[in-house]
Structure 1
Amino acid sequence: MDLNKIEEDVRSVTLELLEAANLKPYEALVVGGSTSEIAGQKLGTATNLEVAKVVVGTIVSILKEHKIYPVIQGCEHINRALVVERAFAEKHNLEPVNVIPVMHAGGGFATVAMETLDDPVVVESAKVSAGIDIGDVFIGMHLKNIGVVVRSEIKTIGEAHLSMIRTRPKLIGGERAKHF
Structure 2
Amino acid sequence: MNEEFARLKNELDVLIEQLEDEEFFREGEDLLIGCSTSEVMGHHIGKESSMEVAEIIFEAFHQAADRHKLNVMFQGCEHINRAITMEYDVARSRNYPLVSVVPHRSAGGSLSEYAYHHLVRPVVVEHAAADRGVDIGQTLIGMHIHHVAVPFRVEQRTVGKANVTIAYSRPKLIGGPRAHY
Which TM-score applies when normalising by structure 2?
Answer: 0.92
User: Which consecutive residues of structure 2, in runs of 5 or more, have no partner in the other structure?
Assistant: none
- Summarize the Cα distance change of 1:18–1:97 in structure 2 as closer, same or farther, 3 Å threshold: farther
Name the residue aligned to 2:123: 121
Name the residue aligned to 1:156: 158
Count of equivalent residues = 179
Name the residue aligned to 1:98: 100
Distance 2:128 2:156 in 1: 27
Question: Is the 1:134–1:161 Cα contact (8 Å) retained in structure 2?
Answer: yes
Question: Is the 1:17–1:164 Cα contact (8 Å) retained in structure 2?
Answer: no
Query: Which of 62, 72, 77 is equivalent to 1:75?
Result: 77
Specify the SS of the correspondent of 1:163.
strand
Name the residue aligned to 2:18: 16
- For residues 24-173 of structure 1, what are the structure 2 equivalents within 5 Å? 24-173=26-175
Distance 2:109 2:4 in 1: 21
Specify the SS of the correspondent of 1:128.
coil
Question: How far off its partner does 1:104 sit?
Answer: 0.8
Indicate the percent of aligned positions where both proteins have the same amino acid. 36
| Worse overlay, 44-53 or 113-122 | 113-122
Question: Is the 1:83–1:121 Cα contact (8 Å) retained in structure 2?
Answer: yes
Distance 1:6 1:178 in 2: 45
CA RMSD, aligned part only?
1.7
Distance 2:92 2:85 in 1: 13
